Amino acid sequence: MRNRKLLVPGITVLVLALSLAAAACGGSSSYSSTQPPTSAPRATADAGAPPTTSATVSAATNAKLNKTILVDSAGMTLYTYGNDTSEMSACNGGCASEWPPLAAGAESPTGGPGVTGTLGTITRSDGTKQVTYNGMPLYGWEQDQQPGDVTGDGLEGFHVAVP
Q: Which of 5-19, 31-45, 61-75 is the least confident region?
A: 31-45
Task: Kindly give, in sequence order, each residue whose CB lies less than 8 Å from that of residue 103, ignoring residues fewer than 6 positions away.
Answer: 43, 44, 45, 47, 51, 52, 55, 128, 129, 130, 131
Position with higher pLDDT, 135 vs 1: 135
Q: For a pLDDT cut of 90, what percent of the chain falls above it?
A: 61
Mean pLDDT, rounded, for 27-42: 33
Mean pLDDT, rounded, for 118-130: 95
Task: Kindly give, in sequence order, each residue whose CB lies less than 8 Å from that of residue 151, ignoring residues fewer than 6 positions away.
Answer: 35, 141, 143, 144
Q: Mean pLDDT of all residues in the chain? A: 76
pLDDT digits (tens, 9 = 90+) for 46-105: 444 333 346 899 999 999 999 999 999 999 999 999 999 887 999 999 999 999 999 998
